[in-house]
Amino acid sequence: MFTFRKERLAELSEIAQLTGKVFTALVCVKARQICCLPYAALTRLVDARKTAKEAAEDQYVVLVTIPANKSFRVCINKPGARNMMLGKPLVISRNDFPGVIFK
C-alpha cells in the first residue's frame, strides 16, 4: 500500500507542469522490486476514485501486488468497499525501472 496525501499530489502536479515527465517509484521492500508508476497513471487512479466517490479526499491509497512471475498490478480501492478494486488494475512490467525514465 502506498498513501498519497493531497499535498503530495499537488506537488507532483506542479512538477509535472514544469517537466512534463514524472514518475513515482513505488518500492516494494518485501518483493525487492520497484514499480515505476507514471504520473498520468497515478492521476487516472485518483480521478477514478474521485468520480466513484463523487468527492475529493485528503489521501488516496494505491495498492500494488506482484503475482509470481508476472508484472505489477496497480489499483485503487472502490469507495466504501474493503478489498474490492475500482476498475481493472494497471499492469506495469517489472523491468520498466529504471529504463522507462530515460525514454
Is residue 101's pLDDT more than 90?
A: no
Q: Which of 14, 23, 75 is nearest to 49 (CA)?
A: 75
- Rounded percentage of the chain residues whose pLDDT exceeds 70: 100
Interval 44-77: pLDDT, tens: 999 999 999 999 999 999 999 999 899 999 999 9
The pLDDT of residue 59 is: 94
Model confidence band, residue 4 (pLDDT cutoffs 50, 70, 90): very high
Residue with cell 507532483: 12
Q: What residue type is 87 in one-letter code?
A: G
Residue 99's pLDDT is what? 83
Asked if omega into 98 is within 30° of 0 (cis), the reply is yes
pTM over 0.95: no
Q: Are 12 and 24 in contact (CB under 8 A)?
A: yes
